[in-house]
Structure 1
Amino acid sequence: MEYGCYVCNKIIKTGEKFTFTKEGPVHMDCFVAAERKKVPEGKAEYLRNLSMILDYELTMLVSLLSLKSEDKETSELIRRRINAIEKQAGETTGLIYNL
């Protein structure tokens, strides 16, 4: 599936870090830059920390998505980990979006 970033209007390529907000799919860097412009100065450090957390989560997600296994048990473990990290990244995205 192909997505377009609602901030820069470019296609999000396979392997790029991106997330979803109420407005749609967005590159992680575009999202953070846009939010940085809107966030009150007193929340700048919190945004910086949340951005690093989201970066770590999305880096792990991209890595896990590249893992393939013929073993059913391993494939299931990878799938569960992907789902868990997607949920965490979604929560982090929501925290940033609602700053």
Structure 2
Amino acid sequence: MKYVLWIMLFGTSAVFASNDVVVDSDVTEIKSELASEVKAELITAEQAEEMGLNRAETYEVTSTVSVENLEMQIAEKLKDSIMPYYSIEYNDPTSDNESYVATVTEYFGKVE
């Protein structure tokens, strides 16, 4: 919560968020941490469609503790995966619950 208040107080834009929102700077931090821990490549859902990839699995990861805990849980799930690509969609900023949520989708290549 303190982090969000600092962003609201000193942030570069007028972002009004509560402690259940994964804000842009948190997303950037998660992406860089995951890149160093996971073999699979992070892509967007649009890139997966353009590349003609097939969806392997979609699951939700939730943390009631912190953004760092959310990143750790995502990394643990992806470390066990054999899929070469994944995308992450974070919770809606208007969410009323008290948790950090990410939807992870794993992809594999075209089936000929």
Give the alignment's TM-score, normalised by structure 1.
0.35
Bigger RCO of structures 1 and 2 (CA < 8 A, at least 6 apart)? 2
Higher strand share: 2
Higher helix share: 1
